[in-house]
Copies of this chain bind each other. A is one copy, B any other.
Amino acid sequence: MSEEVKLHGAWASPLSYRVIWALKLKGIAYEYVEEDLSNKSALLLHYNPIHKKIPVLVHTGKPICESMIIIEYIEEMWPHTPLLPTDPYDRAISRFWIKFVEDKALPILGRMFNTMGGELEKAIKESLEILEIVEEHGLEDNKYFNGETIGMVDIAFGSILYWLGVNEEVLGVKLLEPHKFPRLHEWFQSFQEVPVIKENLPDRDNVVAFFKRRRETLEATAA
């Protein structure tokens, strides 16, 4: 278990941060390798020939791809500080919400980064619907999705909401309003106060600047 752990990631990627949070929560030592996504390394393409994406976790030389699958692997290899409940039914509910984040929240909220005009308005509307679903069905009365301590669902959703916050600044819109989404808002505040999360976030100004530049490029090419 003490064999080398390497994480290939990208500094501005929410998916990268998910894995960092899981590793840090469990106190697992790892080496971080920054990948340049505009010039992908031969090693990355070797490790992830199908998707050619980060994050990739390499453990004893063997690559694991897809952020939530990486975290599930980490959970099985290092079971202390569990990130999933023990009860099989509760685990099924967690998996349901992880899949919801991956299938719905990630692509729909992600569209706000890549669209303009009418398409952006539609993306915003659909993002609000996603937040409503999670507000109504996801949290119940728990402090975190995982209960009293954060877990995989919190990590999945927390990464999406943090980057939503960045995009809200870039676009000058506000989606996660406390009066509209009281539970989600409170959960997100608590999530960001968890020491491992608080101490492992990208530099806010840098990430806002990065996405501002991307939007400027997008708007320039469309004009």
Point out residues on A near B: beta carbons under 8 Å: 49-50, 59, 62, 64-66, 69-70, 72-73, 76-77, 88-89, 91-93, 95-96, 99-100, 103, 133, 137
For the complex, give the distance between the alpha carbons of A203 and B88 in Å: 34
The residues of B that contact A100 with a CB separation of less than 8 Å are 50
B89–A72 contact, CB under 8 A?
A: no
B69–A95 contact, CB under 8 A?
A: yes
Show 22 residue pairs from A and B whose CB-CB distance is below 8 angstroms, ordered by the A residue. Answer: A50-B100, A50-B133, A50-B137, A59-B89, A64-B89, A64-B92, A64-B93, A64-B96, A66-B95, A66-B96, A66-B99, A69-B92, A69-B95, A69-B96, A69-B99, A72-B92, A72-B95, A73-B88, A73-B91, A73-B92, A76-B88, A76-B91
For the complex, give the distance between the alpha carbons of A99 and B106 in Å: 15
For the complex, give the distance between the alpha carbons of A92 and B93 in Å: 20
The residues of B that contact A89 with a CB separation of less than 8 Å are 59, 62, 64, 73
For the complex, give the distance between the alpha carbons of A50 and B99 in Å: 12
User: Smallest distance from the beta carbon of A135 to chain B beta carbons, Å?
Assistant: 12
For the complex, give the distance between the alpha carbons of A46 and B67 in Å: 31
Per CB-CB distance, the 7 closest pairs between chain A and chain B, nearest first, are A76-B88, A73-B92, A69-B95, A64-B92, A77-B88, A62-B89, A69-B92
The residues of B that contact A91 with a CB separation of less than 8 Å are 72-73, 76
Closest to A65 in B: B96
For the complex, give the distance between the alpha carbons of A93 and B72 in Å: 11
- Of the listed residues A49, A76, A89, A133, the one surrounded by the most CB atoms of chain B closer than 10 A to its CB is A89
The residues of B that contact A72 with a CB separation of less than 8 Å are 91-92, 95
